[in-house]
Structure 1
Amino acid sequence: MTTPTHAGRAIVDSLVRHGVRRVYSVPGESYLALLDGLYESGIHNVVCRQEGGAAYMAEAHGKLTGTPGVAMVTRGPGAANAFVAVHTAWQDATPLVLFVGLVPIGDRQRESFQEFDPAAWFGTQTKRVLVLDEPDRASEVVAEAFFAATSGRPGPVVVGLPEDVVAAPFAGRLHEPLPVVDGTVSECDLADLVARLQRSERPLLLVGGARWTPDAAATTTRFAERNALPIVQEWHAADRVPTASPSCVGQLAFGGPAYAARMLEEADLLVTVGAVLGDVVTGGYRLRQDPDAATVVVTIDPGLRGRSGAVSRHVLAAPTAFARAVAELDLDRAEVWRPWTEAGRRAYEEELARLARGTGMTTVLREIAARTSDALQTVGAGNHTAWARLLPVDRYPGELATRNGSMGYAVPAAVVAALEHPGRAVVAVAGDGELLMNGQELATAAQEGAAFLVVVMDNGQYGTIRMHQEREYPGRVSGTRLANPDFAALARAYGGHAETVRADAEAAGAVERALEAVAEGVFALVHVVVDPAVLSP
């Protein structure tokens, strides 16, 4: 490799060393040298239409691959627009590296054009904020950023690039990636876990969080099935165990099913893998708060961030290390646990059956499920996301979602999923409010040739807030109504295929034609018009 000519090129050469194949950006004059470094680098620069969309794509990339997604934005307004994805990555424990152009060093603290303090803005929502003040340390800063983003509990890292420093000559050396450890399930940890399980009559696994791989998810599933152990999943983490697995008993989510909450309360041993007992899982810190409850937490985070309730033992290990430790474990308790697990499974299947009896969005999602296999779904936030449960998950990764309740995510995440997995069906489930928060990234999809299906539920309102409003202030609708465009016409304007469904009889044909368009290499959108009274499945 030739010696980098400037710090911007050194950063890009370091990204190559870290295995980066794709970055997501909105260009800015504050980091022209970094854009120059990307020229002929072999890294694909996905140029987006708004920094929020670009940073969401990087966050989705981190979730999908387990390696840091990389976004590049300019100072001031650009950094502000990207903040939503930083918060998402912070709460969802997603590895993300955000490069932000800054004012030249000599212009600092002079209220110069678009100046801001990156540490003050991002300090509470990132694992680290690094500012490159010496061009020769450019590669070192990249290595530090990637290590911080991936080690322990993953999260976002912001790297500030003063305009003059990133363009300065580089005379340093290129740094190799720093190793990230998975922790370990020690012999003592494993012996304690086995002893607790063998004493248990009603054990329950709770899975979710970060640091999963396809192999870890598959191995954990096989362990649970071999031992007839039930697995409940975190909200918006529905892909650690396949929907069809006899061990899968659903999710603990906002407004989640009563049977899942009962299982959490009645379990005489809870083993969490990657997940912690946060507010959503515990129904607002109400469930499993008994100080004597037996709970073994397996997480690589030494700080146990986000937990509540008792912790009987903390195993400092990532899900990958847990999966290796239990891969061949046969506890000889399957017949004891099978009735408990089968009861949870039946309750889950009954819930899915009830959900599938609806119309409108339900009919459209049923038609999609019947025509796709191994689909990768993307959802943001809102009541419409509940319909995504009609799409079965076959393997990890199978769902990209925001566990911090951030809207506008479905389309940017679908762009990433389609580019990263061009052979898989990708289905974005969006609401009318959510789609218009980052719907402009459909232009990016068309530009990049990202082929996926978008299903838009149009009930003319911010449905989640309307639901809460009707509960707290019945009949007094305020601030939640929406006057929507013709979403199908909008999709065609962006260069995609579009269908409109106003009645169940139109669903099958619309879905069939939309999926044919996706197979031909373009994105497609199905605009589902529903009664405003429909707020949830």
Structure 2
Amino acid sequence: MNNKHAGQVIVDSLSLHGVERVFVVPGESYLAVLDGLHDSSIATVVCRHEGGAAYMAEAHGKFTGQPGVAMVTRGPGAANAFVALHTAWQDAVPMVLFVGLIPVADRMRESFQEFDPNAWFGTQCKRVFVLDEAERASEVVAEAFFAARSGRPGPVVVGLPEDVIIHAVSGQLHPVLPVAEGGISLKELEALKAELLAANKPLLFIGGQRWTFEAAARLTRFAEHNSIPVVHDWRAADRVPFDSPVNCGSLGYGRTAMTLSMFEEADVLVAVGTVLSDVTTEGFTARQGHERTNILINIDTSLRGHSGAVTRHIIASPVAFAESVADLQLGRAVAWQDWLAEGRAAQVAASSLPDLSTLPATRSGTAHMGAVVGELVKLLPEDAVYSFGAGNHCVWAQRFLPTRTFPSQLSTRNGSMGYSVPAAVAASLESPERLCVVVAGDGEFMMNGQEIATAVQHGAAMLILVMDNGQYGTIRSHQEMHFPERVSGTQLANPDFASLCRAYGGHGETVASNDEAAGAVERALVAVTQDCVPALIHVITDPQHDLP
């Protein structure tokens, strides 16, 4: 490597790590890195808000398993990106956030936009690096990517003082640090097999990160060959296909009574890639007894976030576990046949769209969200990708949109709003051949809907459904429970979302009655798949009848 400024070395190191795009909001604090990107093969996706850029990086980590990269400036820019770091931390998603910093000589003087990266981010990141020596630029990138990917994945922050990254450096790029998948010994495999052979109600509970398409397919084969029912963790419903005969639904908010019952009654629970968290366990109440047989397959030695008993902890990623059990035949499917059939029947019923004729009529000028979702489901390709953030509207995506391949569901487990549109931008850029569908509420959409402009600029196309009920619906529902008939601070006056999308350069449709749904969906899909532009369907719903 000839003498280059450290900003160029950082970019070269990103290329070495296979990075194909970075999501940025530019700042004068990291101009040397932007200069390095000028002649690089890495695409620079220029975003409209640091929260959107960082969400895109987080979604890229979920979608690919490789760290997504965002770049923002110091102070306000870093603060705006924090929301995605919290999401990546709680969801265990690999991402690396580069933050431009003030010059070294200006520290501790309350300089313009000065802040302490360790104090701000230290509790919500796996590592916080500050590049104080230009010669270590490539090494720090390698260590950041290793930290983000290894063990329980998560976010890493790299601070870049603006005077350090302009220094010339020489030497070789630091090689990529390999990440271990763990493994299952013969003894552990025999112990697992013995537990399952003795079970009457076994259950696979799956989720978390460190999955691949192959791992999901192998685990599906193992579950289906042995007729073991599968329950997904919250917002992780794409590991075993929607239509699989062993898919018995998901836990967490929006779960069915049967799914929770199976989780409680299973005499042997095998958790793969995930843990029994507070959301899974209904606020640390479900499956908490010490007599429970809980076998955890997890690469995280600390089992961070787990509650309840642990019978056996096998330190392996889903990839390693799936390789070990894919062809394991237990020969006891008949023993739990009824157990599986009951769970599967309940899931099929729960994921079937409601018959509109059986629902109460909505007020004039509104439509059922189910009318639009129903028309969309008829036309979805097998490999569609779905993104959604937080809110009651997410039930439509969680329950009814079929996840038939991994990965196909991008969402947040920390209840963070504003995620849906940026996540779809990331997925569309990574896999433009796949249809990306966004399900957003009016409040959720308004937090980062401006990233449609980013999508248009960089050629990302997605179909966006905005459910407009004129309120922050989740909070309104809590309000009605605790302070009935005292609505306060939850109502919204919204723009014409279809016109807004057209103003950004996309396609817009409005659905204000059920009979407008079919045509709107068909035209919007043409815009996305043939014209390759974002399309938005503004669904005006009745607040009294907008949930299934």
TM-score grouping bracket, smaller chain normalisation: over 0.9
Structure 2: distance between partners of 1:173 and 1:77: 34
Does structure 2 conserve the Cα–Cα contact (< 8 Å) formed by 1:355 and 1:390?
A: no
TM-superposed deviation, 1:310: 0.5
Structure 2: distance between partners of 1:487 and 1:474: 30
Q: Deviations over 1:287-346 (max 9, x none)?
A: 101111000000000000011111000010000001001011000011112211111000
Counterpart for residue 148 of structure 1: 147
Which residue identity is paired with 2:434?
A: R
Counterpart for residue 486 of structure 1: 496
Which residue identity is paired with 1:151?
A: S
Structure 1: distance between partners of 2:160 and 2:14: 15
Structure 2: distance between partners of 1:463 and 1:152: 37
TM-superposed deviation, 1:224: 0.2
Does residue 533 of structure 1 match 2:541? no
Structure 2: distance between partners of 1:191 and 1:534: 52
Which residue identity is paired with 2:368?
A: G
Deviates more, 1:200-209 or 1:361-370: 361-370
Structure 2: distance between partners of 1:277 and 1:74: 37
Sort the Cα spacing of 1:265 and 1:400 in 2 relative to 1 into closer, same or farther, 3 A: same
Structure 2: distance between partners of 1:438 and 1:139: 33
TM-superposed deviation, 1:354: 5.9
Which residue identity is paired with 1:385?
A: C
Does structure 1 conserve the Cα–Cα contact (< 8 Å) formed by 2:368 and 2:546?
A: no
Does structure 2 conserve the Cα–Cα contact (< 8 Å) formed by 1:463 and 1:535?
A: no
1:396 maps to which of 406, 420, 424: 406
Sort the Cα spacing of 1:109 and 1:479 in 2 relative to 1 into closer, same or farther, 3 A: same
Counterpart for residue 363 of structure 2: none
TM-superposed deviation, 1:253: 1.6
Structure 1: distance between partners of 2:502 and 2:394: 24
> Percent same amino acid among aligned pairs?
62
Structure 2: distance between partners of 1:234 and 1:535: 25
Counterpart for residue 432 of structure 1: 442
Does structure 2 conserve the Cα–Cα contact (< 8 Å) formed by 1:297 and 1:314?
A: yes
Does residue 126 of structure 1 match 2:136? no
State the SS of the aligned residue for 2:351: helix
Which residue identity is paired with 1:58?
A: A
Counterpart for residue 334 of structure 1: 333
Does structure 2 conserve the Cα–Cα contact (< 8 Å) formed by 1:459 and 1:534?
A: no
TM-score (norm 1): 0.99
Counterpart for residue 385 of structure 2: 376
Counterpart for residue 204 of structure 1: 203
TM-superposed deviation, 1:356: 5.9
Counterpart for residue 532 of structure 2: 521
Q: Deviations over 1:447-483 (max 9, x none)?
A: 0111110000000000000011111111111110001
State the SS of the aligned residue for 1:314: strand
State the SS of the aligned residue for 1:440: helix
Does structure 2 conserve the Cα–Cα contact (< 8 Å) formed by 1:356 and 1:366?
A: no
Which residue identity is paired with 1:11?
A: I
Matches within 5 A, 1:505-516: 505-516=515-526
Does residue 44 of structure 1 match 2:43? yes
Which residue identity is paired with 1:201?
A: N
Counterpart for residue 417 of structure 1: 427
TM-superposed deviation, 1:52: 0.3
Deviates more, 1:148-157 or 1:249-258: 249-258
Structure 2: distance between partners of 1:529 and 1:53: 25
Structure 1: distance between partners of 2:146 and 2:355: 44
Which residue identity is paired with 1:256?
A: R
Counterpart for residue 254 of structure 1: 253
TM-superposed deviation, 1:246: 0.3
Sort the Cα spacing of 1:220 and 1:444 in 2 relative to 1 into closer, same or farther, 3 A: same
Structure 2: distance between partners of 1:92 and 1:431: 21
Counterpart for residue 364 of structure 2: none
Counterpart for residue 385 of structure 1: 394
Does structure 2 conserve the Cα–Cα contact (< 8 Å) formed by 1:464 and 1:535?
A: no
Q: Deviations over 1:504-528 (max 9, x none)?
A: 1000000000000111211100000
State the SS of the aligned residue for 2:88: helix
2:459 maps to which of 449, 464, 469: 449
State the SS of the aligned residue for 1:353: coil
Which residue identity is paired with 1:328?
A: D
State the SS of the aligned residue for 1:528: strand
Counterpart for residue 103 of structure 2: 104
Matches within 5 A, 1:287-326: 287-326=286-325
In structure 2, runs of 5+ residues without a counterpart are 360-366
Counterpart for residue 239 of structure 2: 240
Structure 2: distance between partners of 1:166 and 1:356: 61
TM-superposed deviation, 1:361: 1.1
Structure 2: distance between partners of 1:248 and 1:6: 53
Matches within 5 A, 1:190-201: 190-201=189-200
Q: Deviations over 1:115-145 (max 9, x none)?
A: 0000000000000000000000000000000
In structure 1, runs of 5+ residues without a counterpart are none
Aligned residues: 536
Does structure 1 conserve the Cα–Cα contact (< 8 Å) formed by 2:54 and 2:84?
A: yes
Which residue identity is paired with 2:201?
A: R
Counterpart for residue 35 of structure 1: 34
Q: Deviations over 1:353-382 (max 9, x none)?
A: 365656611111111110111210001000
Which residue identity is paired with 1:525?
A: L
Counterpart for residue 164 of structure 1: 163
Counterpart for residue 369 of structure 2: 361
Which residue identity is paired with 1:159?
A: V
Which residue identity is paired with 2:379?
A: R
State the SS of the aligned residue for 2:543: coil
Does structure 2 conserve the Cα–Cα contact (< 8 Å) formed by 1:285 and 1:308?
A: yes
Structure 2: distance between partners of 1:115 and 1:172: 31
TM-score (norm 2): 0.97
State the SS of the aligned residue for 2:544: coil
Structure 2: distance between partners of 1:368 and 1:84: 31
TM-superposed deviation, 1:350: 1.3
Which residue identity is paired with 1:382?
A: G
CA RMSD of aligned residues (A): 1.0
Counterpart for residue 504 of structure 1: 514
Which residue identity is paired with 1:492?
A: R
TM-superposed deviation, 1:3: 2.3
Q: Which runs of 4+ in 1 moved over 2 A?
A: 353-359
Structure 1: distance between partners of 2:432 and 2:355: 29
TM-superposed deviation, 1:41: 0.9
Deviates more, 1:290-299 or 1:254-263: 254-263
Structure 2: distance between partners of 1:84 and 1:444: 19
State the SS of the aligned residue for 1:377: strand
State the SS of the aligned residue for 1:13: helix
TM-superposed deviation, 1:20: 0.4
State the SS of the aligned residue for 2:14: helix
Structure 2: distance between partners of 1:130 and 1:353: 48
Structure 2: distance between partners of 1:216 and 1:370: 28
Which residue identity is paired with 2:237?
A: A
TM-superposed deviation, 1:221: 0.5
Counterpart for residue 73 of structure 2: 74
State the SS of the aligned residue for 2:352: helix
Structure 2: distance between partners of 1:353 and 1:19: 41
Deviates more, 1:354-363 or 1:324-333: 354-363
Structure 2: distance between partners of 1:386 and 1:490: 25
TM-superposed deviation, 1:535: 5.2
Structure 2: distance between partners of 1:82 and 1:535: 32
Deviates more, 1:172-181 or 1:356-365: 356-365
